[in-house]
Amino acid sequence: MPLALGSGTAPESVLHAVLVAALAALAASFLLIAWIVVLRIVGAAARARAARVAARWRPRFAAAISGAAEQAAQTAPRLDSRPVLRLFVQLALVVQGPGAVRLAAYGRACGLRQLAVRLLARRSTGDRLLAIESLGYLGDSAAADALRPLCGDEHPIVSLGAARALLRIDPANAPHVVPFAIARADWPVARLLPMLQAAGKPAADALAGALRDVATEFLPRELALARALPATLAAPFVRKFLASSDDPEIIIACLKLLHDPRDAELARRTSGHGDWAVRVAAIRALGRVASEKDLPRLTEALGDPVWWVRQRAAEAIVRLPFFSAEQLEHLRSIITDRFAADALTRAIAERAFR
Amino acid sequence: MEKTAPSTGPYILLVEDDQDIAYLVRFILEREKYRVVHAADGRDAEALLGGPPPILAILDVMLPYVSGFRLLESIRARKDWSAVPVVMLTSMSQEADIVRALDAGANDYIAKPFKPDELLARVRRLVKAKP
């Protein structure tokens, strides 16, 4: 039966629908509140567990790091896996040398590797990352077999973490890691360079080997990674590819590696390239290896039509070790090109901040 | 863990907000029979400047409220604290911090990750050198 409301009537079905919607909204609110309460309880329990674990394990790890009298290894319970491993990784991050070696040995004796391997099998990315970092710092070569396949994991953070852990466990794993470093565009070069440098000779040999077996598709990335090589190892590749390639991307990557004054002519030859990005790289390289006879060339670059080239030329001139402040001021006073003068003025002003 | 300066006796002041690093450094030093007073942030550390000076101060660079550099300036500005040897704890990647610390009057620095033995050696050297 319809009910009368004001000037109109509302069918019973509409009122029924409104009532159901209101009850549903109320139920959802209660569920949300209950969920928040559960999260708070779980969070508080996790914090309490972490505090208990820290109180129990921090002294043991600290004693291991400092080489205190040999203490018996204690097996960490599975329930405490996450807080124990987290504490282990946090301490491993801040120590190096013999202290780090002692911490890793103690961690292995306490069965942390088994805890980490178990955590590695879980689906949670956070758990897997914690496991990977732990295995890396535990330095147990037996864990390498579990980590190697992860370099191909679709998740870039997981795969990069696995690569870092492998190199930390043993730099001899570099031949396995370097091909991934070259092929995976989702691994940032800036993250890879310190990893590869820390791995030392095995990584340098693997990189140099990759540069020798050139697959042109990956050459720009290989050259970017070659910044991890000692300058003397990289120089032959710089000369080879600058002499043979006309690809601007490759030329730029090579110029970034140019540090040998004997290769200054290579930078001079490219400083007039048609591609402005190449001219920028050439000017920067020339700035690193220039002699006094390069001053006219750098001064000429101050008048380049592209702003970036002018700025880099100005910075290169200002940083020349044989160019005094008085000579700089004299140069600024005789430049007639307004844009060139602006670039030089800015570079001189910025030098005062350094 | 002591958080106020002892009224008598030599002590080392440690200012570090990371609990794990603070625990580790304190453990290493107390094992060598040094008494350590720990401040977890720059504000707590500044409150200690009114008390007796330590035989050595170890300051982290990145601190809540008052940075390690500001603290160093405050220490050098106080007559009774100006001669306290100061070691800065810096991150390895922040070379500029190391230069800035030494320019500002720090006696030495320890870059993280650090070697515990090296930390101890530097502490011993500075504590011995203090007149």
Q: Which of A105, A101, A103 is nearest to A90 (CA)?
A: A103
The pLDDT score that the predictor gives to residue A353 is: 66
The pLDDT score that the predictor gives to residue A74 is: 85
Phi-psi region of A67 (alpha: psi -120 to 50; beta: other; left: phi over 0): left
Q: Is B75:B69 a contact under the CB 8 Å cutoff?
A: no
- For the cut 80, the answer to whether the pLDDT of residue A32 exceeds it is yes
3-state class (DSSP) for residue A96: coil
Distance CA B33, CA B11 (A): 10
- Contact between chains at A62 and B27 (C-beta distance less than 8 A): yes
Which residues does chain B have within 8 Å of residue A63's beta carbon, measured at their own beta carbons? Answer: 27
- Which position has the higher pLDDT, B45 or A324? B45
Residue A178, burial from CB neighbour count under 10 angstroms (0-12, 13-18, 19+): buried
Whole-number Cα distances in Å, A160 to A27, A85, A185, A221, A307 = 44, 19, 11, 16, 37
Measured distance between the N- and C-terminal CA atoms of chain A, rounded to whole angstroms: 86
Q: Which of A193, A194, A207, A138 is nearest to A170 (CA)?
A: A138
- Contact between chains at A95 and B31 (C-beta distance less than 8 A): no
Whole-number Cα distances in Å, A259 to A180, A243, A290 = 27, 16, 10
The pLDDT score that the predictor gives to residue B95 is: 74
Q: Is B2:B36 a contact under the CB 8 Å cutoff?
A: yes
The pLDDT score that the predictor gives to residue B1 is: 47
* Winning range, highest mean pLDDT, from A67-71, A167-171, B103-107: A167-171
pLDDT tens per residue across all 131 residues of chain B: 456 665 668 999 999 999 999 999 999 999 999 999 999 999 999 999 999 999 999 999 999 999 999 999 999 999 999 999 999 998 866 677 888 888 889 999 998 899 999 999 999 999 986 55
Residue in chain B lying closest to A61 (CA): B24
Distance CA B128, CA B131 (A): 8
Distance CA A203, CA A195 (A): 9
3-state class (DSSP) for residue A9: strand
The pLDDT score that the predictor gives to residue A354 is: 58
- Contact between chains at B113 and A59 (C-beta distance less than 8 A): no
- Contact between chains at B20 and A63 (C-beta distance less than 8 A): no
The pLDDT score that the predictor gives to residue A10 is: 67
DSSP structure class, residue A290: -
Distance CA A133, CA A157 (A): 11
- Which H or E element spans position B20? helix B19-31
- Contact between chains at B114 and A96 (C-beta distance less than 8 A): yes
3-state class (DSSP) for residue A273: coil
Q: How many CB pairs below 8 A link A and B?
A: 50
A193 Cβ under 8 Å from any chain B Cβ: no
- For the cut 70, the answer to whether the pLDDT of residue A315 exceeds it is yes
A94 Cβ under 8 Å from any chain B Cβ: yes
In this predicted model, what pLDDT tens digit does every residue of A3-30 receive, in sequence order?
555 555 668 899 999 999 999 999 999 9
Q: Is A286:A316 a contact under the CB 8 Å cutoff?
A: yes
Average pLDDT value for chain A: 91
- For the cut 80, the answer to whether the pLDDT of residue A50 exceeds it is yes
Q: pLDDT band at A352, cuts 50/70/90?
A: confident
- For the cut 80, the answer to whether the pLDDT of residue A44 exceeds it is yes
Q: Which residues of chain B from 94 to 113 reach within 8 Å of chain A, CB to CB? A: 112-113
Distance CA A144, CA A163 (A): 10
Backbone φ and ψ of A123, nearest 5°: -85, -25
Instruction: Tell me the pairing of strands A8-10 and A3-5.
Output: antiparallel
Q: Is the ipTM of this complex over 0.85?
A: yes
Angle CA A12–A13–A19, to nearest 5: 90
- Which position has the higher pLDDT, A173 or B104? A173
Residue whose pair of structure tokens reads 């009298």 in the numeric block: A69
3-state class (DSSP) for residue A93: helix
In this predicted model, what pLDDT tens digit does every residue of A240-259 receive, in sequence order?
999 989 999 999 999 999 99
Q: Considering Cα of B32, then B36, then B41, then B45, what sign does the dihedral take?
A: negative
Could you please report the per-residue DSSP string of B55-91? Answer: SEEEEESS-SSS-HHHHHHHHHHSTTTTT--EEEEEE
Distance CA B73, CA B58 (A): 14
Q: Is A289:A261 a contact under the CB 8 Å cutoff?
A: yes
The pLDDT score that the predictor gives to residue A289 is: 93
Query: How is the beta sheet containing B56-60 ordered, strand by strand?
Result: B36-39, B12-15, B56-60, B86-91, B108-112
Q: Is B48:B37 a contact under the CB 8 Å cutoff?
A: yes
